[in-house]
Chains A and B, each alone.
Chain A
Amino acid sequence: KNEVEQSPQNLTAQEGEFITINCSYSVGISALHWLQQHPGGGIVSLFMLSSGKKKHGRLIATINIQEKHSSLHITASHPRDSAVYICAVKLSPIQGAQKLVFGQGTRLTINP
């Protein structure tokens, strides 16, 4: 079982729909990152969370440390939101190496 699991793996929606991407992890963490990767390969860091909720424009990220779960929401989705969204966790010091562990990504397609 992967330490970081994302769902769904693929998501297709119509423009304007509310989108939710989920990330569950099984290890102790000190931070969780949400990343966006466009077809060209470049990765953009969207959020870094250690607790609670963050909002940036139409994007909202939440994390529940007790349940080991995070969600990324997109409101009023637009075709330019089409990308792969990747959840990554930074292992807590007791886990050993201080490294990022990545989910497999969620491929989001927003149709006009």
Chain B
Amino acid sequence: KAGVTQTPRYLIKTRGQQVTLSCSPISGHRSVSWYQQTPGQGLQFLFEYFSETQRNKGNFPGRFSGRQFSNSRSEMNVSTLELGDSALYLCASSSSAGGNQPQHFGDGTRLSIL
């Protein structure tokens, strides 16, 4: 089985731009969660999608949004980028929602804001 695939792996943007990151879950997994990892804050939960519906949301501003498609692939969008958005963005898939099943992580997208 192919693992979780995130694209792109690296991205450089400037302040004020917007960015879209993509995550393809393991085949058959319907839950996709997104996380932000920074040196200062560590790993933080962004949101979780299950069957095209946002099930849970972390404490991030509205500039951070996401969606999930019928094939379970998910995208995350960040608008009006700020320097503090520089981070490793990870997605994880699991067979059910809510974190009661093992999470399978992708390799992440490293976003740098200049």
Q: How far is the CB of B7 from chain A (nearest CB, A)?
A: 14
A104 on the B face (CB < 8 A): yes
Given A42-B105, A44-B105: A100 and B45 within 8 A (CB)?
A: yes
Chain B interface size, as a band, is 20 to 34
Those of A16-32 within 8 Å (CB) of chain B = 30-31
The B contact surface, by secondary structure, is strand
Given A86-B43, A99-B56: A43 and B100 within 8 A (CB)?
A: no
What 0/1 pattern do residues 30 to 70 of B give for CB contact below 8 A with A?
A: 00010101000011110010000001111000000000000
Q: How far is the CB of A101 from chain B (nearest CB, A)?
A: 7
Chain A interface size, as a band, is 20 to 34
A residues at B contact (CB < 8 Å): 30-31, 33, 35, 40-45, 48, 50, 86, 88, 90, 97-105
B residues at A contact (CB < 8 Å): 33, 35, 37, 42-45, 48, 55-58, 88, 90, 92, 97-108, 110
Contact B99 A100 (CB under 8 A): yes
Given A42-B107, A42-B108: A98 and B42 within 8 A (CB)?
A: no
